[in-house]
Amino acid sequence: MAARDLLAASALALVLGAGAASAEVVINRGNDTDPATLDPHHTQTVSEGRILKDLFDGLVIQSAEGEAVPGVAESWDLSEDGTVYTFHLRDAKWSNGDPVTAHDFSFAYHRIVDPMTAAGYASNLFAIKNAEAIAGGEMPVDQLGVRAIDDKTLEITLKAPTPYFIELLTHQAALPVHQKSVEEFGDQFTRPENFVTNGAYKLESFTPNSQLVMVKNPHYYNADEVAIDRVNWIPFEDRSACMRRFEAGEVQICSDVPAEQMDYVQQNLADELRIAPYLGTYYLPVKGAEGSPLKDARVRRAISMVIDRDFIAESVWAGTMLPSFKLVPPGIANYDGDAVTVDYADKDLFDREDDALALLEEAGVEPGSLTVELRYNTGENHKNTMAAIADMLSNIGINARLNEVEGTTYFNYLREGGPFDMARAGWIGDYNDPQNFLMLYESGVPFNYSRWSNEQYDADLDKAAITQDLQERAKILADAEQTLLDEQAIIPILAYSSRALVSADVQGYEDNLMDAHATRWLSLN
Amino acid sequence: MTDIPMTAAMPSRSLWQDAWIRLKKNRAALASLVILVVLGLAGAFGPMISPHPYGAIYQQYVRVPPSLEAYPRAEEIEPAVESLIRRARVETTQTDVSGDTVTVSVASDQPIDERLVRYFQRSDQFFNPELVLADNGLTGTLTLEVERNYFFLGTDNLGRDMLSRILIGVRISLAIGILASTMALVLGVAYGAISGYLGGRIDNVMMRIVDILYSLPFIFFVILLLVFFGRSLLIIFIAIGATEWLDMARIVRGQTLSLKRREFVQAAEALGATRSGILRRHIIPNALGPVIVFVTLLVPKAILAESLLSFLGLGVQDPMTSLGLLISEGAQNMRGASWQLIGPAAVLTVILFALNFLGDGLRDSLDPKER
Amino acid sequence: MLGYTLRRMASAVPTIFIIVTLTFFAIRIAPGGPFDLERPLDPLILANLQKAYNLDAPLWQQYLMYLGNLLQGDLGPSFTRRDFSVNELFAQGLPVSILLGGLALSAATVLGIILGAIAALRQNSWLDNLIVAIATLGITTPNFVIAPLLSLFFGVILGVLPAGGWSNANPAYWVLPVITLALPQVAVIARLVRGATVEALRANHVRTARAYGLPSRVVVGVHALRAAMLPTVSYLGPTAAALLTGSVVVETVFGLPGVGRYFVQGALGRDYTLVMGTVVVIAVFVVIFNLLVDLAYAWLDPRVRYD
């Protein structure tokens, strides 16, 4: 007995952090996966964003409610024509005590667009003047529209007015880096011993597949208000593993909950379960070979009509997703989603099936004559989703064959423009603006898996890009989405929800559309 | 004991005939054989005679627990009827359920569309709807038959019958286990015996080849095969078989190394037997004991290797399934829907137990020293 | 024997060379690259990235470069864990995997031999049947079922052991992973030992020894078990190599920082250098343990000679 208790006690001590005597406040947070790197300019994923936004403060940060609020920049001015931002910086320090200056931001933004850096998310800053040309190697780096006027003033010149620019700055690609340590240590600058950060936390250690430990940054400008002293970020490739450790009290926040176990969670962890609308869409790109009936918008529309989104959302995803007919998710800023209409959305499924059959007949597709391949990548609930869709398509005489493909091959195939009938794709918004979704289907962008091209759509997006009046712009963007959905180049089926387990001890965790929950806003009871 | 002179007097009776006679006396082995044959037949023909096709989705019956009672349950019939009537935008004035027949009185402000019945035609819960309308078309009586569905082992996350899925899973898993093991057995025994018997430089080279293949990661190997040839059952057989024969080759070689110094082999050599003859008559039969034991480990290993592939998302293609895939899906929700794990896991355990007892029985009956 | 060992070591060099070459080209022909994530990259940026990692050079040049670095013991930078070199990843992960694998292997061998021998000596008794039944159950149940069940039972329901996670210093974190790893191996070893011991007990020299009136404990210990060790040792060689280089399932379910996951993460993420590193490390382990098996064979069975 004694040995067992001792074992349990030591395990507990370890979970709570070795120095149980000091009243250090420690939180264990589950993350979807390890960061591929801690260099903000090389990161691409949501899970990296979570960690980096604890380590760094950008000009603008996300509040507990996920809204863009002043970060290192105390305030900013925008020129009349909407193209020049002037940011006024507060007194802030790096974790080594150096002051955070406008030069650090200028250095960072020059670094990310530099072709030598080869930053994956450089394109996120293409709104800045000359950024695209510089990343393409057509212009020297010093031509970038970013300039430090003095230590406390940063001027950013944009290519054109960009209403979502401030939102854009909340993304991890817009975080600063400490110039001196980057120059001194090169690609070693993210090592715990070298890493200088300006956020609420600094890095203590990083053990791959185990945990990433960060401790409070004493030099942080708001250090007094940071309630948690130590954060252990734990990667969970297996979401059930996070849930078990959550139930065992070893983890306080799980960033995801397995949909398969939702019945159990809703019964047993109802108070800890957080499901909230999330800025993301789950959709099916449709392509079809040359001459295939899938090239006919009526056929694509018929297919979209018979997909029972309620069943997929409620049963396959156990209520963790919302049925959707549109690409731009509900709740997004700078948009009027209601202006976009999908006329069959409110009809009963059986009526939709009749209409779909009529459409197919009109398009000359005999029942049973069309076979489509549903291609999807391994993971989550994609298999069940596609199996359900295959079953629904059989109701209007379309045969569907499933083809599951391993992830890397799958995405490479789509990016390279490989032929397919229908596939699956998901998109989580980088920033809160419809442009971030609608740009997916512009002609010639790599995200456009269907290689769909529509002049009206492209023209609308171009026009929106230079429209300053937000209402006018929202209308143009809605027109574009209407074109996309009328043509049914893609079949949106679900809007994402964020789903998390949050211990009752955690205070300050506010559900929000961006699923942004920086540790600085949290405290433990 | 009376067998001995008989066997000696009838050299024409082969090793295998002897083995069969001995095996028949081993009740556990025989019972296992019967179980395996029954399961094999169930896997081969079960999916054809099962009332639920293994890919059929019953949207109303997602994740229902196993039950000997039919669905829909008595208390579910009325709400189901009413919800379908509502979808047709008609009102229900009265619903009577008697046994398998439901009588519904319907009413509406506008003339009722006769197409109301198709809501019931397309439902999985009812069939044979008949609508009799009053002259003004605003009221009517609808009679329905309740479609009884049995899910003895429950349903999965899409409302597919677990029993049918387990049956198809048995088929696929047995096929993978047997084909992959056969491949491993033939390749491994031949390779190991030749390598061990010939010895010297040839043995060295042959074993280095095994080392090389052994060091190639299995998963990596399978991913490459799947990437190049697409996802198919054949590729999974080949991938597993090609990995499992290596162990077999090692074990047979080890046995051979020790056998070839034994008196009877040396005697055969002295009598001028050919190398291949010695291999076939002496080395391989004498090495068969451990080999058979190992095969009984190999079939489960192959079945489990397939399940590891399923766990990593590289298994067979839906709507086809295997026991390993069913178990790995069931394991994800073991607390919410335990039947999704218990059903396939129990069947797999029975299969592997039966293989095990059969293997032991075979070993005892094949043992040449028992002759 | 020393000469034999050295010769075997030398012959391992071409083995590893062939493995490296095969894997290098195989993973390169596989579709997709390390930068194919769900969010497709701008073609421009992809080109920059490939240049930065030298992926735009001709394949044979990259191959020679890799070989050159490998000779100096440098496995290169990881593509999907860009803050680490592959050497560092193994330096961190290998001790964890070796610790867990070593504990599991020792436990499995000792338990397996004891159980197998008991079963063989009490052949067809209830004890034998029980051991065989448990052993079969151990082989039957996939570890991705056992691992979550153990974690659930001891971690969540009883709360006596951590449900997951890792600590180098606290053995409480080691218990469940070691049990999961050892369970199927105990089963296999017990069955192999039982089978071989039953066989050996019937062999002439053991019968002779018994007939001479040697105490049966000596007979079993010296003769029967020694012979029974042959298939066990054959089995243990590759098993040890596999166990010590980590298990993807156990590491994923318990969240352990071993090297078993690099195998799968590397291959699925097309982390070329990580895959190569894993293959090299596994190859070295396989070569070493095969050598040990052959040496053990000679020691156990004097009829086997070093050829």
pTM of the complete model beyond 0.90: no
Residue A130 has a pLDDT of 95
Q: Helices marked H in chain C — which ranges?
A: 2-29, 43-52, 59-71, 86-121, 126-140, 143-150, 172-202, 204-211, 216-218, 225-244, 248-254, 260-268, 272-300
Q: What is the mean pLDDT of chain B?
A: 82
Please say whether the beta carbons of B280 and B329 come within 8 A. no
Smallest Cβ distance to A409: which of B62, B158, B227? B227
Q: What is the nearest CA distance from A76 to chain C, expressed in angstroms?
A: 31
- In chain A, the residue whose alpha carbon lies closest to the alpha carbon of B86 is A348
Residue B297 contacts C where some CB pair is shorter than 8 Å: yes
Run of H or E including A428:
strand A425-428
Chain C neighbors of B346, CB-CB under 8 A: none
- Rounded Cα distance between B319 and B304, Å, is 20
Record the tokens describing residue B116, joined without a space.
């109301």
Q: pLDDT tens across A447-465, in order?
A: 999 999 999 999 999 999 8
Run of H or E including B219:
helix B218-229
Q: What is the nearest CA distance from C303 to chain A, expressed in angstroms?
A: 48
Mean pLDDT within B355-362: 79
List the 185-244 stretch of C: residues with Cβ below 8 A of A. none
Q: pLDDT tens across B234-292, in order?
A: 888 888 888 888 888 888 888 888 888 787 888 888 888 888 888 788 877 777 777 87
Answer whether residue B155 shows pLDDT above 70: yes
Residue A308 contacts B where some CB pair is shorter than 8 Å: yes
CB-CB under 8 Å, C35 with A236: no
- Rounded Cα distance between C199 and B290, Å, is 9
Please say whether the beta carbons of A480 and A457 come within 8 A. yes
Mean pLDDT within C34-46: 82
Residue A382 contacts C where some CB pair is shorter than 8 Å: no
Task: Say if residue B319 is preceded by a cis peptide, omega within 30 of 0.
Answer: yes
Residue C76 has a pLDDT of 92
Confidence of residue C234 (pLDDT cuts 50, 70, 90): confident
Residue A15 contacts C where some CB pair is shorter than 8 Å: yes
Mean pLDDT within A411-436: 92
Q: Rg (Cα) of chain C, in Å, rounded?
A: 24
Q: Which of A116-130, C25-39, C89-103 has the highest mean pLDDT?
A: C89-103
- Contacting residues for A383 by C-beta, under 8 A, at least 6 apart: A376, A402, A404, B318
Answer whether residue B5 shows pLDDT above 50: no
Record the tokens describing residue B256, joined without a space.
């051979």
Q: Which residues are bridge partners to A215 per DSSP?
A: A202, A230
Q: Which chains touch C (3 or more CB pairs under 8 A)?
A: A, B
- Rounded Cα distance between B247 and B293, Å, is 13
Mean pLDDT within C136-144: 81
Strands A370-377 and A398-405: parallel
CB-CB under 8 Å, A11 with C261: no
Chain A neighbors of C41, CB-CB under 8 A: 120, 446
Q: pLDDT tens across C47-67, in order?
A: 888 888 888 899 999 999 999
Mean pLDDT within C291-301: 80
Q: pLDDT tens across A65-95, in order?
A: 999 999 999 999 999 998 999 999 999 999 9
Chain A neighbors of B316, CB-CB under 8 A: none
Mean pLDDT within C82-88: 94
Chain A neighbors of B318, CB-CB under 8 A: 383, 386-387, 402, 404
Distances, alpha carbon A49 to alpha carbons A217, A227, C230, in Å: 18, 21, 55
Of residues B201 and C214, more confidence is placed in: B201
- In chain C, the residue whose alpha carbon lies closest to the alpha carbon of B352 is C140
Strands A253-254 and B70-71: unpaired
Chain B neighbors of A413, CB-CB under 8 A: none
Q: Which chains touch B (3 or more CB pairs under 8 A)?
A: A, C
Q: pLDDT tens across A479-491, in order?
A: 999 999 999 999 9
Chain C neighbors of B353, CB-CB under 8 A: 133, 136, 140
- Contacting residues for A3 by C-beta, under 8 A, at least 6 apart: none
Smallest Cβ distance to C37: which of A11, A44, A248? A44
Give buried/exposed letters for B163-192 (b at 16+ CB in 10 A, else e): bbbbbbbbbbbbbbbbbbbbbbbebbbbbb
Residue A11 has a pLDDT of 46
- CA C70 vs. chain centroid, Å, equals 23
- In chain A, the residue whose alpha carbon lies closest to the alpha carbon of B330 is A260
Mean pLDDT within B73-94: 82
Instruction: Lowest mean pLDDT of A147-151, A469-473, B141-145, name the range.
Output: B141-145
Residue B362 has a pLDDT of 78
CB-CB under 8 Å, A118 with C49: yes
Confidence of residue C255 (pLDDT cuts 50, 70, 90): very high
Q: What is the nearest CA distance from B19 to chain A, expressed in angstroms?
A: 46
Chain B neighbors of A378, CB-CB under 8 A: 313-314
Answer whether residue B106 shows pLDDT above 90: no
Q: Which residues are bridge partners to A501 per DSSP?
A: A254, A273
Q: What is the mean pLDDT of chain C?
A: 86
Rounded to 5°, angle at Cα A40 from A39 and A43: 90
Confidence of residue B105 (pLDDT cuts 50, 70, 90): confident
Smallest Cβ distance to A350: which of B56, B62, B119? B119
Q: What is the nearest CA distance from B288 to chain C, expressed in angstroms?
A: 12
List the 410-429 stretch of A: residues with Cβ below 8 A of C. 411-415, 425-426
Q: What is the nearest CA distance from A316 to chain C, expressed in angstroms?
A: 22
Please say whether the beta carbons of A460 and A479 come within 8 A. yes
Residue B13 has a pLDDT of 59
Residue A21 has a pLDDT of 45
Record the tokens describing residue A182, joined without a space.
């980057």
Q: Which of C46, C49, C83, C168 to probe by mutation at the A interface, max A CB count within 10 Å? A: C83
Mean pLDDT within C204-228: 71
- Rounded Cα distance between B183 and B192, Å, is 14
Instruction: Lowest mean pLDDT of A368-382, B5-19, C230-244, name the range.
Output: B5-19
Q: What is the nearest CA distance from B239 to chain C, expressed in angstroms?
A: 15
Chain B neighbors of C145, CB-CB under 8 A: 327, 331, 334, 341, 345
CA-closest candidate to residue C257, choices C192, C164, C124: C164
- Rounded Cα distance between A57 and A200, Å, is 8
Chain B neighbors of C268, CB-CB under 8 A: 223, 312
Confidence of residue B368 (pLDDT cuts 50, 70, 90): low
Please say whether the beta carbons of B101 and B146 come within 8 A. yes
CB-CB under 8 Å, A260 with B231: no
List the 295-324 stretch of B: residues with Cβ below 8 A of A. 313-314, 317-319
Answer whether residue B82 shows pLDDT above 90: no
Q: Which residues are bridge partners to B256 per DSSP?
A: none
Q: What is the nearest CA distance from B356 to chain A, expressed in angstroms?
A: 33
Residue B14 has a pLDDT of 66
Residue B16 has a pLDDT of 67
Residue A140 has a pLDDT of 95
- In chain A, the residue whose alpha carbon lies closest to the alpha carbon of B159 is A315
Give buried/exposed letters for B77-115 (b at 16+ CB in 10 A, else e): bbebbeebbeebebebeebebeeeebebebebeeebeee
Q: pLDDT tens across A251-289, in order?
A: 999 999 988 888 899 999 999 999 999 999 999 999 999
**Half-sphere exposure for C245 (CA within 13 Å, toward CB):** 23
Residue B59 has a pLDDT of 86
CA-closest candidate to residue B350, choices B303, B315, B293, B294: B303
Q: Which of A124, A172, A206, A210 to probe by mutation at the C interface, max C CB count within 10 Å? A: A210
Please say whether the beta carbons of A57 and A201 come within 8 A. no
CB-CB under 8 Å, B250 with C188: no
Residue B11 has a pLDDT of 47
Residue B7 has a pLDDT of 41
Please say whether the beta carbons of A241 and C164 come within 8 A. yes
- In chain C, the residue whose alpha carbon lies closest to the alpha carbon of A138 is C44
Q: How many Cβ atoms are within 10 Å of B56's Cβ, its own excluded?
A: 16
- CA C8 vs. chain centroid, Å, equals 21
Q: What is the nearest CA distance from B143 to chain A, expressed in angstroms?
A: 20
Answer whether residue A16 shows pLDDT above 50: no
Q: What is the nearest CA distance from C71 to chain A, expressed in angstroms?
A: 23
- In chain B, the residue whose alpha carbon lies closest to the alpha carbon of A404 is B317
CB-CB under 8 Å, B290 with C196: yes
Instruction: Lowest mean pLDDT of A164-168, B23-27, C297-301, name the range.
Output: C297-301
CB-CB under 8 Å, C279 with B219: no
Residue C255 contacts A where some CB pair is shorter than 8 Å: yes
Q: pLDDT tens across A330-346, in order?
A: 999 999 989 999 999 99
CB-CB under 8 Å, A135 with C163: no
Answer whether residue A19 shows pLDDT above 70: no
Record the tokens describing residue A198, joined without a space.
């300006």
Residue A237 contacts B where some CB pair is shorter than 8 Å: no
Q: Which of B198, B211, B247 to probe by mutation at the C interface, max C CB count within 10 Å? A: B211
